[in-house]
Structure 1
Amino acid sequence: MQVKARYDARVLLAEQMTRAQGLKLKRLSDEAYQPAQFARDLSFTEAARRIQVLEAEIELANSF
């Protein structure tokens, strides 16, 4: 039996970040020497945005 899930964007904006996001954000913020980017109480959307920004910064730094 398959369960089809529907996700409401408003719910994702309000939900707390997932454990996987938290771990990834912590690792990236340490790697980028920006520990202030990590916070335990971020929303799912804010965590995703910070992860994306940190990944881009690290990629840029590694390109030199």
Structure 2
Amino acid sequence: MQVRLAEQMTRAQAMRLKSLSEEAYQPGQYCRSLSSTEAAQRIEALEAEIALADSY
């Protein structure tokens, strides 16, 4: 049985995540070794957090 490694995040995801993590003052959310799925989840969470902060 072969174990398939998770796909690494794309360059576009890395750039978006880095930008959002800086905008949200959470640079720790960015990590080069994230999988594509993990990156997508963090991007979604940061976008929601920024949208909430902007609504005030």
Q: TM-score normalised to the size of structure 2?
A: 0.91
The structure with the larger Rg is: 1
User: How far did 1:18 drift?
Assistant: 0.0
User: How far did 1:41 drift?
Assistant: 0.4
Q: Find runs of 4+ consecutive structure 1 residues off by over 3 angstroms.
A: none
User: How far did 1:17 drift?
Assistant: 0.0
For residues 53 and 29 of structure 1, what CA distance do their matches in structure 2 show?
10
Q: Would you say how many aligned residue pairs link Structure 1 and Structure 2?
A: 53
SS at 1:17 equivalent: coil
Q: Do structure 1's residue 39 and structure 2's residue 19 form an aligned pair?
A: no
Partner residue in 2 for 1:56: 48
C-alpha distance after superposition, 1:17-50 (max 9, x if no partner)? 0000000000000000000000000000000000
- Percentage of pairs with the same residue: 68
Q: Which runs of 5+ in 2 are unaligned?
A: none
RMSD (CA atoms): 1.3
Q: Which runs of 5+ in 1 are unaligned?
A: 1-10
Partner residue in 2 for 1:27: 19
For residues 27 and 19 of structure 2, what CA distance do their matches in structure 1 show?
9
